[in-house]
Amino acid sequence: MCLGIPGKVVRWLEREGAFAQAEVEFDGIRRIVHMACVTEAALGDYVVVHAGIAISRIDPLEAKRIFETLAEWGEDEGWRSDLSSEPEASP
Amino acid sequence: MQHKGENDSSSWQMNCPVSIPSNAECVTLAHGEGGRLSRKLVQERIVRVLNNEYLVALNDAAQLPEVRGPLALTTDSFVVSPLFFPGGDIGSLAVFGTVNDLAVSGARPLWLTLSLIMEEGLPLAILDRVLESIAGAAEMTGVKIVAGDTKVVPRGAADGLFINTAGVGELITPTPPGPATLKEDDELIVSGPIGRHGIAVLAVREELGLSPLPLSDCGSLLQPVERLRDGIGDQVRCMRDATRGGVAAVLHEWAETCGLTLSIDERSLPVSPAVRGVCELLGLDPLHVANEGTMVIAVKQGTSAAALRILHSLSETAGARLIGNVTSRGIAPVTVRRTLGPEQPLDDPLGSPLPRIC
Amino acid sequence: MKYLDEYRDPRAAQLLLDEIRRISSRCWTLMEVCGGQTHSLLRHGIAAELEGTVELIHGPGCPVCVTDQEAIDYACQLSERDDVMLTSFGDMLRVPGSRGSLLDAKTAGAHVRVVYSPLDAVELARKHPDKQVVFFAVGFETTAPATALAVKQAGRDQLENFSLIVSHVRVQPAMEALVRAPDNRVQAFLAAGHVCTVMGYASYQSFVEQSRLPVVVTGFEPLDLLEGILACVKQLEANEAQLENRYARTVRSTGNPAAQHLVQEIYQICDRAWRGFGNISDGGLELRPEWQRFDARTRFTEPVLPVINVDECRSFEVMTGHLKPPDCPHFGTRCTPETPLGAPMVSSEGACAAYYRYDGTMSRR
For an interface test with A, the pick among B272, B278, B281, B285 (most A C-beta atoms closer than 10 Å) comes out as: B281
Cβ within 8 Å, pair C1-B276: yes
Contact A46 C2 (CB under 8 A): yes
Residues of chain B contacting A31 with CB distance shorter than 8 Å? 208-211, 281
Please report, rounded to a whole number, the percentage of residues in chain C having pLDDT higher than 70: 98
Q: Using alpha carbons, select from B228, B216, B236, B237 the residue that is nearest to residue B290.
A: B216
pLDDT tens for B191-226 read: 999 999 999 999 998 888 899 999 999 999 999 999
CB of C118 less than 8 A from some CB of B: no
Whether the predicted pLDDT of A91 surpasses 50: no
Which chains have 3 or more CB–CB distances shorter than 8 Å to chain A?
A: B, C
What residues of chain B lie within 8 A of the CB of A27, using their CB?
A: 273-274, 276-277, 280
Asked if C45's CB is within 8 angstroms of B344's CB, the reply is yes
Model pLDDT for residues B279-314, shown as the tens digit of each residue: 888 888 899 999 999 999 999 999 999 999 999 999
CA dist list (Å): C226 to B111, C174, C253: 58, 24, 21
> Alpha carbon A78 to chain centroid distance?
22
The per-residue pLDDT for B8 is: 57
Task: Flag if B332 and C46 touch (Cβ within 8 Å).
Answer: no
**Site from C363, C364, C365 to mutate, B interface, most B CB atoms within 10 angstroms:** C363
Strand partners, B88: B85
Q: What is the largest CA-CA distance in chain B?
A: 68
C4 touches B at CB < 8 Å: yes
Whether pLDDT at C68 is above 80:
yes
Q: Which of C93, C144, C152 is nearest to C122 (CA)?
A: C152
ipTM: 0.91
DSSP B25-47: -B--GGGGSSSHHHHHIIIIIII
Mutate to test the interface with B, among C122, C358, C359, C364 (most CBs of B within 10 A): C358
Which tops the pLDDT comparison, C113 or A79?
C113
Report pLDDT for B222.
97
Closest residue, chain A, to B273 (C-alpha): A27
Spatial separation of the C-alpha atoms in residues C306 and C309, rounded to whole Å: 9
Please write the tens of the pLDDT for every residue from C270-298: 999 998 888 999 999 999 999 999 999 99
φ and ψ at C91, to 5 degrees? -55, -30
User: What is the pLDDT, as a whole number, of residue A87?
Assistant: 44
With an 8 Å Cβ cutoff, are A55 and C347 in contact? Answer: no
Mean pLDDT, to the nearest integer, of C49-78?
92
Rounded distance, CA B295 to CA B314, Å?
Answer: 14
pTM, two decimals, is 0.89
Q: Is the pLDDT of residue C32 over 50?
A: yes
Per DSSP, C117 falls in state -
Confidence of residue B5 (pLDDT cuts 50, 70, 90): very low
Q: Residue B348's pLDDT is what?
A: 77
Whole-number Å distance between alpha carbons of B88 and C344: 39
Q: Do B280 and A27 touch (CB under 8 A)?
A: yes
Residues 95-114 of C with CB under 8 A from B: 106, 109-111, 114
Instruction: Tell me the longest C-alpha to C-alpha distance in chain A.
Output: 48
pLDDT band at C307 (very low <50, low <70, confident <90, very high): confident
Q: A90 and chain B: CB distance < 8 Å anywhere?
A: yes
Helix, strand or coil, per DSSP, at residue C34: strand
Looking at the complex, report in whole angstroms how far the Cα of residue A54 sits from the nearest Cα belonging to chain B: 13
- Whether C288 and chain B come into contact, CB under 8 Å, resolves to no
Question: Would you give the DSSP letter of residue C292?
Answer: G
Cα distances (angstroms) measured from residue B69 to each of B107, B144, B239: 11, 19, 21
Contacts of B340 in chain C (CB under 8 A): 10, 13-14, 44-46, 49, 222
Which of A3, A30, A91 is the closest to B210 by Cβ?
Answer: A30
Residue C362, pLDDT score: 53
Q: What percent of chain B has pLDDT over 90?
A: 74
Q: Which residues of B touch A30 (CB under 8 A)?
A: 210-212
A51 touches chain B (CB under 8 A): no
Nearest Cβ partner for C63 among A1, A39, A59: A1
**Does the structure show a pLDDT above 80 at C83?**
yes
Compute the distance between CA of residue C302 and CA of residue C249 in angstroms, rounded to an integer: 47
Q: Do B210 and A31 touch (CB under 8 A)?
A: yes
In chain C, what percentage of residues exceed pLDDT 90?
68
- Residues 6 or more apart from C248 whose CB is under 8 A from it? A59, A62, A65
CB-closest option in B5, B7, B277 to C1: B277
Sign of CA dihedral C138, C141, C142, C143: positive
C-chain CB neighbours of A58 within 8 Å are 3, 249-250
Q: How far apart are CA C57 and CA C318, in angstroms?
A: 9
For residue A1, the model assigns a pLDDT of 55
Mark yes or no for CB contact B273/A29 under 8 Å: yes
Residue C190 pLDDT = 97
Q: In this structure, is the dihedral angle defined by the CA atoms of residues A35, A37, A42 and A45, taken in order, positive or negative?
A: negative
Please state, rounded to an integer, the average pLDDT across all residues of chain B. 92
Give the per-residue pLDDT at A84. 43
Residue B164 has pLDDT above 90, yes or no: yes
Residue B45 burial (CB < 10 Å; 0-12/13-18/19+)?
A: middle
CB pairs under 8 A between A and B: 38
Q: Is the pLDDT confidence value at A80 over 80?
A: no
Residue A77: closest CA among chain C residues belongs to which residue? C11
Chain A residue at shortest CA distance from B282? A3
